[in-house]
């Protein structure tokens, strides 16, 4: 963090971890520690599917979920864009980050 010129990261984001990580509470408990000591403000995960996004949101301190959402990948809308009143309404207050990049949106 010295190289970044800060004492605290605003967001620590796991990038598409292996599926087993979503079912391992020890991983998320370990992520709680830097938050508790003030080294990280929030943490979350980037996911490849809405199901993994819902699973990661089972952990109460996960504050952001990044998911591929673009013209060709509209399925996340079924679950995540109903966020406020739909089936995942119990997760209010969390941040959803749409991800669009060239590899994810190519129509080849």
The pLDDT tens digits for 12-23 are 999 999 999 999
Judge if pTM exceeds 0.75. Answer: no
Highest-pLDDT range among 2-6, 19-23, 102-106? 19-23
55 burial type by CB count under 10 A (0-12 exposed, 13-18 middle, 19+ buried): middle
Over residues 23-27, mean pLDDT: 96
Res. 59: pLDDT tops 80: yes
Q: The tokens of 96 are what?
A: 């959803």
Listed in sequence order, the DSSP H helices in 1-108 are: 19-22, 25-36, 50-56, 76-80, 102-105
- Name the E strands within the chain: 9-15, 40-47, 62-68, 95-99
Locus of tokens 């399925």: 75
């Amino acid at each position: 963090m010295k190289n970044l010129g800060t004492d605290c990261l605003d967001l620590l984001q796991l990038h598409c971890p292996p599926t087993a990580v979503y079912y391992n509470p020890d991983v998320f408990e370990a992520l709680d520690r830097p938050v508790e000591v003030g080294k990280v403000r929030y943490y979350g995960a980037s996911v490849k599917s809405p199901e993994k996004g819902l699973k990661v949101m089972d952990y109460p301190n996960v504050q952001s979920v990044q998911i591929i959402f673009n013209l060709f990948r509209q399925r996340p809308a079924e679950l995540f864009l109903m966020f406020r009143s739909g089936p995942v309404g119990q997760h209010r207050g969390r941040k959803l980050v749409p991800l669009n990049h060239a590899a994810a949106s190519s129509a080849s």
